[in-house]
Structure 1
Amino acid sequence: MTIVKSMDFDVVVAGAGPVGLMLACELRLAGVSAVVVERLTEVDTTIKAGSINLPTAEALYRRGLLPALAETQREIFARFMRPGAGGPPGKPGPKVLGHFAGIMLHDDLLDTSDPDLAGHGPAANVSLVPQAELERLLGDRASALGVEVRRGVELTGFDQDDEGVTVHTDRGTIRAAWLAGCDGGRSTVRRLAGFDFPGTSPEITGHQALVEIEGAEDLGMGWHRTDTGVYVHGPMPGRILTVQFGGPPADRDAPITADELQAALRRVSGVDVTITAVHTATRFTDNARQATTYRLGRVLLAGDAAHVHSPFGGQGLNLGIGDAMNLGWKLAAAIRGWAPEGLLDSYTAERQPVGAWVLDWTRAQVALMRPEPRARAMRDIVTDLARTVAGTTYFAKKLSGVWQHYDLEGDHPLVGRTAPDLELADGTRLADLLHGGQALLLDLTGGDAEIGSHAERYGDRLRVVATTCPDRPDLTGLLVRPDGITVWASGDPDTPETLDKALTRWLGAPAEFSAA
């Protein structure tokens, strides 16, 4: 006799950082239940990522969170960019777009006519959102959506079978159909599930901190390379970062003291500073590894649990949010029973190449930072390239994430890329139509064609909107996945066969023929 164990939730999400919360929100939005378990009792305010890239801003914009992001950015500017905090007064210079290995990129050399930089709407104006603030914002959203977040609960183990996963915690057992490990670079879920995690070993010890410091006037602002490493001072008051190339730290988990930070900064900078107080601090290395698959049975990985690397270039948080957006609707489709064949496996197929690129992007920066002659020679060449229009534009596109796309079936140039934020005839924008987390079929003929006539059969999986877009007369229709990726586009109103194929590929069989 087979005993069927009842499910407490559809999904257990391990980790209440931004990735875990984003995934849980996406699952709940799609109509499945999720519980988040988190060892920490409060939001982690340790200094980490300081900004978000364009794909992350677009993802949050498409869920109605752009006003909250913009308000957070205003508060950060008011807090840290007050007079005296951002450098000497006077006429502002070119805006800094970011950096590659500390080589600063400025917008006066950016080719703004590049088509990859167009069509992103107001999300392109938001970037300065620190990780802790994003975690708070997503925590509020999870609460509003009815996601249960259990803080102070540590995952200690799990057992999976054909029907589900039994998750063991220090506060009891939870039964769910799936387990998602979003529990960071030293993921318990990844280790216990047995995921392969190959990569390259660390060679640096890095520190980042907000401190009270005496003698800072002799450090100068910005990035500095020396014969013993790299240090950064600013842009916010008291922020320091050091990189030493003597190998990884002996103990990643030991408390970080003022003496440790002071010794690192003195050694790398050569300046006799004194650190009198530490507000927040972290250690990091350039350990760069990636899971060979993001799924083993009913266990999935996202965020740092699936890939680790150095923080240079600010890619980690953004890579994880992209994982959550890609996985959320696909896992929900599997749970609800309408997922077409191979949909859940496309999570690894689509996200793993993006993760592999990020690992190499960070490895290259560490290589250019090394305090040795060959690295310095290569850095000089890269600096010269970065100070051209073509070079600045190349690096800015990589840093911003606008290059990201998936290799999907379809001839139209928009297929596989983030949907353009079209301004529609009634003044709304495409992102406004994605707040509910459904796929979107946009009939841009205004209803004169047959594009939307057969899509009613997909029920709540698909939202169909008939309108026009005066700025894009070349487009008659778009099919956009819940994660904002275009999977069908056309300039011909009479294309039912290619549209039907795309609908079936991504949304499965129509409702009247499915078990959903």
Structure 2
Amino acid sequence: MDAAVIVVGAGPAGLMLACELRLAGVDVIVLERLVEPTGESRGLGFTARTLEIFDQRGMLAGLGAVEVTDLGHFGGLPVNFRILGPAHSGGVKGVPQAVTEQMLEKYASDLGADIRRGYEVVGCADRGDEVAIDVRTADGPRQLSCAYLVGCDGGRSTVRKAAGFDFPGTESTMEMFLADVSGCDIETRMIGETVPGGMVMAGPLGDGIHRIIVCERGTPPRKRTEPPSWAEVSGAWQRLTGQDISAGTPIWTSAFGNAARQVTEYRRGRVLLVGDSAHIHLPAGGQGMNVSVQDAVNLGWKLAAAVRGDAPETLLDSYHSERHPVGVRLLMNTRAQGLLFLSGSEMQPLRDVMSELIEFDDVSRHLAGMVSGLSIRYEVGAGEHPLLGTRMPKVELVGEQGKTTTTELLHPARGVLLDLADDPALREIAAGWSDRVDVVTVTVHAPVHGEPVAEAKAFLIRPDGYVAWTDSSAADLGEALSRWFGAARQKTVD
């Protein structure tokens, strides 16, 4: 085989997955159709959950100084994410997606991922014991093979189509234009600002460049093979706002719709899908890249365990069982947001009611948790601890090696057993998994933002940062370790 895993697509999802696989010691090839990155940045930041993911892998330094904001929206209606509490940072703004991709590509390359540009995947076949991939390159056709193939190749995924995934949902009913333009003065307009005939948004990006979004109601979506012309974009802007910006210089233009589709299964045999390959939706609240990165981090350690032969088949199946419901809620909330900020005046009463509801803390907390990904809880077994099944917050710890944090302990992308009570019995049980799980005997240095960490004597944290077991869980530690990390290593006999 050419590699244990071949990833198709060098966007944020594919690059993040490559990083996760390399951290686990798995050889990976990333195939990208484009010879060079486009430099386009549909996203201009990322959510608090994605910030936490980058932090837990030590990647934030690669982005330099970042600006964190507590402000967000749901369907154009302001939501203050501070309601989620001080334990969770706000989202990051002002970081173009192209910069995030550059950071991820550097990390993936430094970790040893083989990134091949100018490789267009045109077909694939799961042969039972391997996957064969047909590729078109400048030097002619090629065929590669791998143990597992992962499609991270976007909403028009070739992998999804070639592997026969079902992709039910709804078609687009409208078309929106997105563009960055220089050379003209455009008044700032907040997301969701409705005008007679449609919706517009505009904001400065610096260096005289403005980001605009324009949706003209009643305009049916077109099947496009090329980006819309600047004349189309500026014409729609003028019809809706009365402002002529046609003399501006477009940096790039794009069109998108409100189609909502999701595959019925995230895995078919040796082929898996991540991110937009598995789900497409209206880009409301910039959730697309964030959910894609979170898909990749959920899958990475599980796929690595399957490649190494450590994990039972059920672990790889848990990628679908955990992330498919997240995709369902993603499509639900983006469709709801689309109704709020893309509909006409007939939707104003609902906007007014929603604005009133958001003033209630419980409603605001619910919506903020939904669009940020912070409210995700996985089924990891019965237990009473409030952190069970959720992501471990950043907590300061102290042990024999000095001070550390839960975030720093996750940098190697391994499992972590926090022994907070200096319990030799727990350490003895975990010894059989020492090749996959780090046992750290520490105490909580100080209470952190009221998080209920000190109420437990031990935590088992998965490589993706989610709490899989505490000492109050119904299962014992050995059962939890076997479920998430496979069978214990056999003891050698002298």
Q: TM-score if structure 2 supplies the norm length?
A: 0.91
Question: Structure 1 regions of 5+ residues with no counterpart?
Answer: 1-6, 78-94
**Is 2:481 the partner of 1:503?**
yes
> Is 2:39 aligned against 1:73?
no
CA distance in 1, matches of 2:185, 2:307: 58
- Once residues 420 and 106 of structure 1 are traced to their aligned partners in structure 2, the CA distance between those partners, rounded to angstroms, is 20
Match of 1:415 among 372, 381, 388: 388
Determine if contact 1:40/1:152 at 8 Å carries over to the other structure: yes
Match of 2:122 in 1: 156
Q: Give 1:39 shift.
A: 0.5
Corresponding residue SS for 1:230? strand
Matched-pair contact (CA < 8 Å) for 1:178–1:298 = yes
Q: Does the 8 Å contact 2:173/2:221 carry over to 1?
A: no
Residue 425 (structure 2) aligns with: 450
Structure 1 contact 11–33 (Cα < 8 Å) conserved: yes
Aligned with 2:428: secondary structure?
Answer: coil
* Aligned equivalent of 2:202, options 215, 230, 233: 233
Give the aligned partner of residue 324 of structure 1: 296
Once the 2 structures are TM-superposed, how far is the Cα of residue 170 of structure 1 from its aligned partner?
1.2
The answer to whether the Cα contact below 8 Å between 1:72 and 1:129 also exists between their aligned partners in 2 is no
Aligned length: 475
Structure 2 counterpart of 1:166, from 128, 132, 142: 132
Partners of 1:47 and 1:282 within 8 A in 2? no
Deviation at 1:397, TM superposition (A): 2.5
Match of 2:439 among 451, 457, 464: 464
The alignment status of 1:200 with 2:170, answered yes or no, reads yes
Alignment of 1:68-467 (within 5 A): 68-69=62-63, 71=64, 73=66, 97-106=71-80, 110-111=82-83, 117-120=85-88, 124=90, 126-171=92-137, 172-212=142-182, 214=184, 216-217=186-187, 223-236=192-205, 237-411=209-383, 412-425=385-398, 426-445=402-421, 447-467=422-442
Displacement of 1:509 in angstroms is 0.9
Q: 2-side partners of 1:42 and 1:20: how far apart?
A: 15
Question: 1:231-254: per-residue Cα shift (whole Å, max 9, x none)?
Answer: 001043411111223355323322
In 2: Cα distance, 1:27 partner to 1:513 partner = 27
Query: How far apart in 2 are the matches of 1:355 and 1:128?
Result: 26
The 1:248–1:98 alpha-carbon spacing in structure 2 relative to 1, beyond 3 Å, is: farther
Question: Shift of the alpha carbon at 1:125?
Answer: 6.8
1:371 is displaced (CA, Å) by: 3.9
Percent identity for Structure 1 against Structure 2 = 40
CA-atom RMSD, angstroms?
Answer: 2.2
Assess if the C-alpha contact under 8 Å between 1:56 and 1:321 holds in 2.
yes
2:455 is aligned with 1:474? yes
CA-CA distance at 1:127 after TM superposition: 4.9
Question: How far apart, in 2, do the equivalents of 1:279 and 1:52 lie?
Answer: 22
Aligned residue for 1:32? 26
Instruction: Give the 3-state SS of the residue equivalent to 1:241 in structure 2.
Output: strand
Match of 1:9 in 2: 3
Secondary structure, counterpart of 1:196 in structure 2: coil
- CA displacement, residues 298-331 of structure 1 (integer Å, 9 cap, x when unaligned): 1110010000001111110011111101111111
Contact conserved, 2:125 with 2:162, CA < 8 A, in 1? Answer: no
Determine if contact 1:99/1:105 at 8 Å carries over to the other structure: yes
Contact 1:187-1:305 within 8 A present in 2 as well: yes
Judged with a 3 Å threshold, the aligned counterparts in structure 2 of structure 1 residues 220 and 311 are, in CA distance, closer, same or farther, namely closer
- Residues in 2 aligned to 1:220 and 1:415: alpha-carbon distance in whole angstroms: 42
CA distances 1:82-125 after superposition (whole Å, capped 9, x unpaired): xxxxxxxxxxxxx6611112122346xx54xx5xx3534xx657
Comparing 17-26 and 472-481, the one that deviates more = 472-481
Q: Which residue of 2 aligns with 1:80?
A: none
| Structure 1 segments (4+ residues) deviating >6 Å | none
For residues 322-370 of structure 1, the C-alpha deviation after alignment (integer angstroms, 9 at most, x for no partner) is 1101111111111111102411111000000001101011100111234
Deviation at 1:496, TM superposition (A): 11
Distance 1:213 1:248, change over 3 A: farther
d(CA) in 1 for partners of 2:46, 2:357: 25
Say yes or no: does 1:490 pair with 2:468.
Answer: no
Alpha-carbon spacing, 1:422–1:247, altered in 2? closer, same or farther (3 Å): same
State the TM-score, normalized to the length of structure 1. Answer: 0.87
Contact kept? 2:198, 2:344, Cα under 8 Å? no
| Residues 47, 210 of structure 1: 8 Å contact kept | no
The code of the aligned residue for 1:351 comes to R
- The answer to whether the 8 Å contact 1:221/1:235 transfers is no
The 2-side partners of 1:417 and 1:456 are apart by 25
Q: Secondary structure at the match of 1:252?
A: coil
Letter of the structure 2 residue corresponding to residue 510 of structure 1: A
- Which structure shows the bigger proportion of residues in strand conformation? 2
How big is the shift at 1:502? 0.6
User: Contact 2:381–2:475 at 8 Å: present in 1 too?
Assistant: no
Q: Distance in 1 between matches of 2:191 and 2:156?
A: 31
**1:221 Cα deviation from its structure 2 partner:** 5.7
1:200 to 1:247, Cα distance in 2 relative to 1, 3 A? farther
Change (3 A) 1:125 1:349: closer
CA distance in 2, matches of 1:73, 1:461: 33
Q: What is the aligned partner in structure 2 of residue 90 from structure 1?
A: none
Using the TM superposition, give the Cα deviation of residue 267 of structure 1 relative to its aligned residue in structure 2, in angstroms.
2.1
For 1:452 and 1:211, locate their aligned partners in 2 and report how far apart those are by CA, in whole Å.
Answer: 59
Distance 1:267 1:394 in 2: 37
What is the rounded CA distance, in whole Å, between the counterparts of 1:413 and 1:106 in structure 2? 23
- Residue 83 of structure 1 is matched in structure 2 by none
Kept after mapping to 2: 8 A contact 1:222/1:234: no
Residue of 45, 57, 62 corresponding to 2:56: 62
**8 Å contact kept, 1:258–1:275:** no
Q: In structure 1, how many angstroms separate the alpha carbons of the residues matched to 2:70 and 2:310? A: 46
